[in-house]
Structure 1
Amino acid sequence: MPLRIMTIFGTRPEAIKVAPIIKAIEEDSQLDNIIVVTGQHREMLDQVTTMFDIVPDHDLNIMSAGQTLNGIVAKVISGVDGILEGEKPDAVLVQGDTSTVMGAAIAAFNQQVPIIHLEAGLRSGNINSPFPEEANRKLTSQISSLHLAPTTTSKFNLTREDVSENDIVVTGNSVIDALLYATNHLEVRFDDPRLEALHRAKTEGRAGRVMLVTAHRRENLGAAMEDIGAAIADLAQRFTDLTIVFPIHKNPKVRSAIAPRVEGLENVLLIEPLAYAHFARALSLADIVLTDSGGVQEEAPSLAKPVLVMRENTERPEAVLAGTVKLIGTHRHRLVDEVSLLLESDEAYRGMANAANPYGDGRAAERTVAAIKWKFFGADRPVDY
C-alpha cells in the first residue's frame, strides 16, 4: 500500500515551496498525495496552484475580511480536524511558519498523525520578529516527527533545541526548485504594458538599471512603511535612470503608506501583485532587490541579485554570511544610502552579486521524497545538502 501523504498549505509562499514536493510525490509509486488548501491567501494562492497544475482534494476557504490571527488558527484546526478524520493519512506535510502550518500541525498532532515539517529550523532569535512566524515555526518543531531543514544552519538550530539528528535531513530549499522551473520553463508576458516594455528594453540592452521592491511585513506597517515609501521617492528622484518596479501588496495599510509618496514619479512602476511566474521573470530583470520578504532572500541570490533586506533581523542568516544579502532596517536615510552604494560603487555591487547562494541546487524535492521513504519505509538515508 502506498504511504498517504497529506500536504496542507494556505498561502502563496507555501504553495510555491510545496509545489515541487507535490509533483515529486505524484511521480513516486510508493507515495500517494492528498492535497488540502486552507485558502489563508485566496487569489495569490490560486495563481500558484494553477501554474503548477495542482488540484486540491479539499479546500477550507477560510479567508474572510478582517479576521484575526486567532480566528484563522481556529478555522484551520477545526477544518483540518474533520479532513483528517475522513482521510486517515499516514503523515501530514506542512511548510514553513504560517498560521496554517501551526494550526494544521496541532490538528495532526492531536490525532497522532506524524508531522513532516518542510523548511524546518529557521530562527530569528526574537519571538516577536517576524510575528507570528517565529512562534509558529518553533511550535511546529516541537511536535514534528521529520524535520526537513533547508541548510546546515537550520539543522544546528534544531539540534540546539534538542531535536534528534536522527529526525533531521538537510534538503536545500524547494523554493529554488520552483524558481528554476519558472525561469527555465515558463514563457510569460506581463499584463502591465509598462513592465512588458521594460522587459523588452532590458532584453535588448536598451534599459537602464532596475530595482525590484517588495514590502508587506506586519511589523513594518505604519511609520516604517511610510519611511520605505519616502526612501523610494528619494531614490527615484536621485537616480533618474533607475526604474523601480514595486508590485504593491493588497493590504490597504501598505498602499496608503506607499502610493502617495511615489505618485507622479515616472520611473516608479507601482503595479498590482504579480503571479509567481511573472514575479520570477521580474526578478530576473532586476539589478537590485529591496525587500522585507523571507522567500525573496532565498530566491534572488539564486539569480545573482544583491538583496537589501528591510528588517532588523532574519531567520535566514546564511546569505547574510555569504555576502549576497544585507540587513539594512527601515530608516529612510539608511535605505537611500545602502541602495545608492550599490548603484554608485561597482566594487560594492560585484561583492554582493557574485556571492555564493547557500539555499539550494534545485534538488530539494528529490531529497524530500528520499527522506520520507527513509523515515517511513527504512530506505537509505539521503545525503544532506
Structure 2
Amino acid sequence: MTAPIQLSIIFGTRPELIKLAPVILLGQQDPRFQIEVIFTGQHVELVRDAIDFFKIKIDQHLKIMHPGQSLNQLLIHALTQLEHTFNNGHPRDAIMVQGDTTTVLAGALVAFHMKLPIAHVEAGLRSYDLLHPYPEEGNRQLVSRLARWHFAPTQLSANNLLNEKIQPEDIFITGNTVVDAVYLAKEFIQASNLQPTQRLSALGIALNADEKLILITAHRRENFGEGILNICRAVKQLCERYPNLHFAWPVHLNPAVHDVVSDAFKDMPQVHLLQPLDYPNLLAILQHAHLIMTDSGGIQEESPSYQKPVLILRTTTERPEVLDVGAGVLVGTDTELIVSEATRLLEDTAYYAKRAYVKNPFGDGTAAQQILDRLALDLHHS
C-alpha cells in the first residue's frame, strides 16, 4: 500500500482557516493524506471561534505576534518559528498556504528554502496596485514566484498567472474554497441549537418586518483616518434618510477603527456596534442583511452565496469577478458615492434584483476535493 502523503497546512488568520477548513477536514478523512495543521498565531483571539466551530485539531501552535511589532518584525518571527518547526524531523511532502497574509509569505519562503513544494490555494488574485490592498498584493505576487501548484479560484485568476509566465500545467481552476466553507457552515448551523434568527436576537438585533439591515465591515489599513471617517459620515446620512434602516457593524479591534467608529455612533441606536463576530454569527447576519458594505476580500466572495449586493469600500479589488457578474460596486470611501449607491439599492427593486440574483462566480463548493485530488495525483507519481 502506498504511504500517505505528508501534507502540512499553514494558516495564521481567521479568513485563512475558514478557507482551508474544507481542505483540512476532507484531507483528514482521506487515506491518501496525513494532514499536519500549523497555526502561526497571526490572529489569536479572532481565529479561536473558527477553530472551535469547524473542530480543527491544531498540531503546531506558534506565537509570532508581539505588541507593536512592524510587518518586518512579524515576518522575521514567522520565518524563525516556521523554520524551527520544519526542522523537527517530521517528514513533509508538500506545504499548503492560502491567500495573501504575512503567514502565507513566511510559509512559502521557508518551504522554498527547504526545497519543499508549495501549494497555493486562492492563487492569482491581483489588483496590480502594491498599495491596495497593502501588504497583501505584494505577498500574493511574491508567493506566485515560489509555488508549485497554483489553485486559482476563477479563469480570471488563472489568466493573471498565465500573463506572469506561470507554466499552464501548474495552474488549476478549482473555484474558491470559501464556497465550500459556506456550504459546510450552513450544515453545521442547521444541526446546532442556535439558528440564524436566534443568533441575531442574541446579538441584540431584533428587527420588525418593515426594517432592513445592512452589514458593514471596514478594517483595511489604507482606509484608516479620513477613509473611516467618510464611511461613518455615509452611514449617518443613510440613518437620517431611512429611519427603518439598521446597520450591524462588527468593529475591528484596531484603535484606528474601533475608537473612531465607537465615538461616531455612541448615541445612534440604528447602528449596532458589535464585537468581532464568530463565523456562524457573521453568516447569520449575511443571511438577513439586505445588502453589504465592506472592504473585506472574503466577504466580497461570501456575499454572492447569499445573493446579497455588496458595496466595496475600496478603490480597487483583486476580486473583479464580483464586479463582472454585477454583484458588487466599487465605492471606495467616497461618502457621496456610498450614499447614492446604497440609496439606489434600497429604492430601486429592479436594480437591486440585478445586483443580488447572480450566478456565484466563485464556484460550486467542490474546490477542496479538486485540490486534494490534484495533489494526490501529482505526489503519488512524483
Task: For 1:64 and 1:339, locate their aligned partners in 2 and report how far apart those are by CA, in whole Å.
Answer: 39
1:261 to 257, 261, 264: 264
Task: Name the counterpart of 1:242.
Answer: 245
Letter aligned with residue 371 of structure 1: R
Task: For 2:22 and 2:200, locate their aligned partners in 1 and report how far apart those are by CA, in whole Å.
Answer: 28
Moved more, 370-379 or 50-59: 370-379
Question: So what's the TM-score if we normalise by structure 1?
Answer: 0.94
Task: Name the counterpart of 1:383.
Answer: none
Identity of matched residues, %: 37
Task: For 1:50 and 1:133, locate their aligned partners in 2 and report how far apart those are by CA, in whole Å.
Answer: 26
Task: Name the counterpart of 1:59.
Answer: 61
Letter aligned with residue 294 of structure 1: G
Check the 8 A contact 1:118/1:147 in 2, yes or no: yes
Alpha-carbon offset, residue 193 of structure 1: 4.8
Task: Name the counterpart of 2:17.
Answer: 15
Aligned Cα root-mean-square deviation (Å): 1.5
Task: Name the counterpart of 2:348.
Answer: 345
Q: Does 1:280 align with 2:283?
A: yes
Check the 8 A contact 1:62/1:76 in 2, yes or no: yes
Task: Name the counterpart of 1:382.
Answer: none
Task: For 2:68 and 2:58, locate their aligned partners in 1 and report how far apart those are by CA, in whole Å.
Answer: 25
Aligned residues: 374
Task: For 1:63 and 1:192, locate their aligned partners in 2 and report how far apart those are by CA, in whole Å.
Answer: 32
Task: Name the counterpart of 1:71.
Answer: 73
- Report the secondary structure of 2:203's partner residue: helix
1:165 to 165, 168, 171: 168
Letter aligned with residue 245 of structure 1: A
Check the 8 A contact 2:104/2:139 in 1, yes or no: yes
Alpha-carbon offset, residue 207 of structure 1: 5.0
Moved more, 262-271 or 5-14: 262-271
Check the 8 A contact 2:22/2:184 in 1, yes or no: no
Check the 8 A contact 1:151/1:172 in 2, yes or no: yes
Alpha-carbon offset, residue 353 of structure 1: 0.7
Alpha-carbon offset, residue 197 of structure 1: 4.8
Q: How does 1:168-207 map to 2 (within 5 A)?
A: 168-186=171-189, 187=192, 188=194, 193=201, 195=203, 197-198=205-206, 201=207, 206-207=209-210
4+ residue runs of structure 1 moved beyond 2 angstroms?
A: 187-198
Check the 8 A contact 1:209/1:286 in 2, yes or no: yes
Q: Does 1:47 align with 2:49?
A: yes
Letter aligned with residue 116 of structure 2: V
Task: Name the counterpart of 1:225.
Answer: 228
Task: Name the counterpart of 1:119.
Answer: 122
Question: So what's the TM-score if we normalise by structure 2?
Answer: 0.95
Task: For 2:312 and 2:87, locate their aligned partners in 1 and report how far apart those are by CA, in whole Å.
Answer: 42
Task: For 1:93 and 1:235, locate their aligned partners in 2 and report how far apart those are by CA, in whole Å.
Answer: 43
Task: Name the counterpart of 1:333.
Answer: 336
Task: For 2:205 and 2:158, locate their aligned partners in 1 and report how far apart those are by CA, in whole Å.
Answer: 44
Task: For 1:248 and 1:183, locate their aligned partners in 2 and report how far apart those are by CA, in whole Å.
Answer: 24
Alpha-carbon offset, residue 183 of structure 1: 2.2
Deviations 1:75-126 (A, max 9, x none): 1111111111112311000000000000110011000000000000000011
1:83 to 85, 93, 97: 85
